[in-house]
Structure formats: structure tokens, C-alpha cells
Amino acid sequence: MRVVPHRLREFGEYLKGIGASPLPPVDVPEERAPDMYMATHSSPATEMVRVPISAFPNTPSLFRFFVDGVQRTVPVTEVPVGNVRVPVHITHLVAGAMERVEGRLRPVLKREAVILLLPLQALQVATSSVSPVTRPPGQELGAGVCIYEAIRSGGSQYYSDTSVGLELQRGGRVTPLLQAGDLVRTGEVRSKALNRAKVLLRILEIGVLWELRQQYPDDWVLLDGPVAPPLKYGRLVHPSLQGLEGIARPDVAFDFLRRVIGAVKRVQIVPQSGLEFALAHGPDFVSCVYLFSDVIQEDDQVAKEILSAFLWLRRELADEIPSVWSSISGLARFDIPIPAVIDDPALKNTWNTLNEQDLANLLSNPASREHQRLRELLESIVTERWPVPSSDSLRTLTELFPIAETEFWLSAHLYDLYELRQTVFG
């Protein structure tokens, strides 16, 4: 078993000081639940173009770097509040990138953090008349902090208040998520902790992506998951990315997005019509490329600045996996930011105002530079589908091999359940 840094034991002393009692190191059922690979939301979307792609492109892939993140989040203690016992969680987050060098993948960058998750403000209000809960030691990862920079600087320990959001309202106020009266709903407290861990991991992934973009501005990066989160969490990564949020600075967004593609293996948001063409049988692929309205979901996210290309990635295997009962289960989505296909410096400050019909005309014209770039990206994606990663049956249909390898490498660095408990109680 690895030795956990001694400074993290301050969490344990703090939790004992507020009357918390340890929980057995058991896994959280939500983390072990299998992914449900099928559409759960439909949204208005405009079909921009259908692109036929050879099942075996003879061109090398564009992608050099592959970014992913893994996490383990477990409840470790309970804080008594009257007759209610409120769970407190620990999460270990690891995000990183692998690089393809001469046909082989090698690790190139890794960032990680162990973070205490607790509904601090709600606990303080609930205990104000008795013995108010104090703040934990270490640095808070909250709405007013550049979270990635704080973690990259290598601070001692971190905590995050799950009773308030990471978004800032007008006047700099944070959004309340849990009130003192909500602490009796243990499931909601746990849900807020798990959601916070997901968001913090996404911020860590965006930070890794940002570091790569700083050092290798012209190399292509394949990100595991949707590309929309940077448009929401940029300011929590680095001050220079504040202009990403809502495309407040089109030039900043252009530079960040022009070499980034997102691979979404768990597709929840689908267009309201047209996907049947992507599910057609034949010798070649048909990728249906859409532009969604400005839609944001908690897990799967789309945005109007990002093209969504759908591919039935490994249709050859669909009949070999009996657990797959829906054709949508084998459908993967690839997020292609508009700057990735319209890579014109003259449009750096205006690309997000491009008329939808004009964009469709560019993408559907086989002779246009934009259509050729889109085809090149889709061919690169198809090239990455082999070899098949050794994963669970559903992900085998939708996960690209380099992403799976990156995840395996990062997962090897995760603390197990007992090590996470050791961070608190030794």
C-alpha cells in the first residue's frame, strides 16, 4: 500500500474535532453503476452535412495528445447534526495526457489532488446555536478560486463546500445548493458531493488541456468527453481563460478550441431527427454532423459553438454483444468546435457570429477547405477505433483505443478505498 502524505492527516484531526465518526471504507454504489448508453434527451438541432467516410481510411491520424481523467469518491465520515448524520466525502482526482510518439503512447502530463467534500455552509447554519462547524484546514476550492492553478501549485490540502455552487451570480454571490434543512436528505447530500467531484475532475482535465495548448498550440488533442465544459469553467482554470465563458472573448476561445476534439462515449443528448442515417448499414460510415441550440446538461453537454458529429463507431461488433439492446447504445458523438474547421485567423474575433446557413454551405461543399478539414478529422477518428480497447461490453462499442489506454494509465494512480480512508484516519 502506498504511503499517503502526512499533511493530509490534518483532515482527520479536523473531522474528529467537529464530532465526525468514521464510516467503513465501502464503495459508493453510484460509482459502480454501469453506464446507460442510450439517448435520454433530444434537442432541436440543425443538420449541417452528412459525410461518408471509408471504414478503413488510408491516412494517418491527426491526433498527437489524448486527455482523460479518473476519480474515486467515497464517504468517509458522518457529522452529527441533532438526530441527523451528515456524510462527508473524500475524492481523489487524477487527470493527464498521453502522447503518441512513433506509433506508441507514452505519459506526458499528470495532475492530481485529494479533496475533502462537505456541505460546509449548511453545516455551519445547522450547528450555529450549539457548536458551529469551523472551516477545514487548507485551501478552499470554490467559486472565487482558479482551481486548477491552486492544484498545480502543489498546495497542502484542499476542500470544497458542496452546499454552494461554483458559478458566480451578479454581485459575486455564489449559488446556494443545500440549505441546513436539506441535510436530512442523505441522498441529496451524497449526490451533491458526487457532482462536485465530477465538476472538479472536469476542471482538472481542462487545465491539462490548457497546458498542452500553451506548449503545443498547433498539435491536435483528443479530449475524453464533451468540449462544452471549458465554455463554462474557464475562469476556474486560469485567469487567461476567463474569456472562454460564454465566448466572452472570441479570440481567446478561438485559440483554445482550434485544435481540440471531444470524444463522447456516453451519448445522452441527440437531435430530434436524422440519426437513422448514421445507423445505416453499408461498406462505409455516414457521419451526421449537427449544430445544436445552446443546450447545457449536467453530464453530457452541447453548445451552439460546437459541431456534433455522430458515428456508429464499431457496428461490426454490435451483434456480438448481446447486452446491447439499443442501436443508439453503439453511437458515439465527437465534438468539433467551429474554429477547428474554420481555422482562419481573419475570423478570430467574429467566428462565433457566423450565420448558420453560411456555415452549412461551407461544410457541405466538397471543394471547400472547411469540408476537407472536417473530413480529415472524421477520418482520423475512424482510424483511432482500432484496436478495440479491453473494456466493458458497452464501452467497447464507443470508446477510442488511445482514450482507453490513457484512462488505464491514470487509473493506476488512484488511491483505493482503504488508502482514501488512510488519508483521514491513518
Tens of pLDDT, residue by residue over 331-343, are: 899 999 999 999 8
Residues 6+ apart with CB under 8 A from 339: 253, 254, 257, 258, 351
Confidence of residue 288 (pLDDT cuts 50, 70, 90): very high
Confidence of residue 345 (pLDDT cuts 50, 70, 90): very high
Does residue 330 surpass a pLDDT of 60? yes
CB atoms within 10 A of CB 308: 26
Residues 6+ apart with CB under 8 A from 412: none
Instruction: Name the percent of the chain lying above pLDDT 90.
Output: 68
Which residue has cell 475533502?
116
* Alpha-carbon 41 to chain mean position: 18
pLDDT given for residue 35 in this prediction: 43
Instruction: Name the percent of the chain lying above pLDDT 70.
Output: 91
pLDDT given for residue 102 in this prediction: 94
Amino acid at 151: I
Residue 385: strand, helix, or coil: coil
Residue 208 DSSP class: H
pLDDT given for residue 67 in this prediction: 98
pLDDT given for residue 215 in this prediction: 97
CB atoms within 10 A of CB 316: 12
Q: Which three cell numbers stand for residue 399?
A: 470508446
pLDDT tens-digit profile of 111-170? 999 999 999 999 999 999 888 899 999 999 999 899 999 999 887 689 999 999 998 777
Q: Where are the alpha helices (DSSP H) in 280-400?
A: 315-318, 338-341, 356-364, 369-383, 393-398
Whether 221 contacts 194, CB under 8 Å: no
**Angle at CA 226, nearest 5°, toward 175 and 325?**
110
pLDDT given for residue 372 in this prediction: 97
Instruction: 168-177: list long-range contacts, CB under 8 Å, 24+ apart.
Output: 168/143, 168/144, 172/144, 174/142, 174/143, 176/121
Does residue 318 surpass a pLDDT of 90? no
Does residue 54 surpass a pLDDT of 60? yes
